Amino acid sequence: MKYAVIGSPIDHSLSPVMHNANFKALGLEHDYEALNVDPSNFDSIKEIINEKNLSGFNVTIPHKEHIIPFLDDIDEQSKTVGAVNTVLISDNKWIGYNTDGIGYVEGLKTVYPDLANAYILILGAGGASKGITNELMKHVNPKITVANRTLSRFDNWQMDINKIGLEEAEKALSEFDIIINTTPVGMNNNKDLVINLDNLAPHTLVSDIVYIPFKTPILKAAEGKGNPIQNGLDMFVNQGAESFKIWTDLTPNYEVMKDTVLNHL
């Protein structure tokens, strides 16, 4: 069977090496490739994919929203987030899923098992935040707090959460057990922190969905204070593992997937 990831640019994607290593570890003769689909060609996506005879594919930037009109059905998580990262092709039907949120939460559970009782602050209110929040709400009892620079961004959020600004988040920081940065602040050599960590409690886990760079400035600052940290590598590996489960109903070799990504960073 054949699988792929579509995006643009896609050259640096680690999904092919990660999935192919998993296929090999499980003795499967499947193949996974990266397909650069320019946004100007997206109207032809059905032809592009059908020609490849794929059984499923991942979708990454900038196509996670563009793909939706081409799908025959989509799951609840994708509907809530308004974005799809996994497509299963079955009997010529295209079914959309979003494994980013569950991928993040599966990774978080490995470093913070008592999620049910955690007070969680999420920084940013874009698509990534929405997916993570929606998935976390299935696991966490206390109301989740989401902080964003622009409060109007919450206008289309239907979820039962606390919505605050970044200054309020800074003041209330000590109340949280887990802080999750979903903003791009700290990527691309940006040294800024999205909020200052002056009020961080000593036990609080600080997490970022980014893994390149491996330690974003907010993770470095938290680590410097002696706090536990987690970067976005587990989220990346787990979203892929969840896609694989959707496509094959098999259990992936998570360790091989993670080691392969680590070796290619």
For 28, the 3-state DSSP assignment is: coil
122 binds ligand ATR (CB under 6 A): no
User: Which CB, 54 or 209, lies closer to ligand ATR?
Assistant: 209
Closest CA to 194 of 115, 142, 121: 121
Annotated binding-site residue? 60:
yes
What angle, rounded to 10 degrees, do the helices at 254-264 and 233-248 form? 130
Evaluate whether 136 touches 105 at the Cβ level (below 8 Å).
yes
The span of 11-19, 26-34, 126-134, 236-244 binding ligand ATR (CB under 6 A) equals 126-134
**Which of 62, 82, 126, 213 is in the footprint of ligand ATR by CB under 6 A?**
126
Annotated binding-site residue? 211:
yes
CB neighbour list of residue 184: distance below 8 Å, 6 or more residues apart: 190, 210
Annotated binding-site residue? 232:
yes
Q: How far apart are the two ends of the chain, measured CA to CA in Å?
A: 27
Site for ligand ATR in 204-263 (CB under 6 A): none
Q: How far apart are CB 45 and ligand ATR at their closest, in Å?
A: 20
**Which of 37, 128, 193, 219 is in the footprint of ligand ATR by CB under 6 A?**
128
109 classed as catalytic: no
Site for ligand ATR in 165-204 (CB under 6 A): 182-185, 194
**Which of 148, 204, 238, 253 is in the footprint of ligand ATR by CB under 6 A?**
148
Evaluate whether 78 touches 67 at the Cβ level (below 8 Å).
no
Sheet with strand 162-164: strands edge to edge:
162-164, 145-147, 120-123, 178-181, 205-208, 229-230
Q: Which residues are catalytic?
A: 64
Residues that bind ligand ATR (CB under 6 A): 124-129, 148-150, 153, 182-185, 194
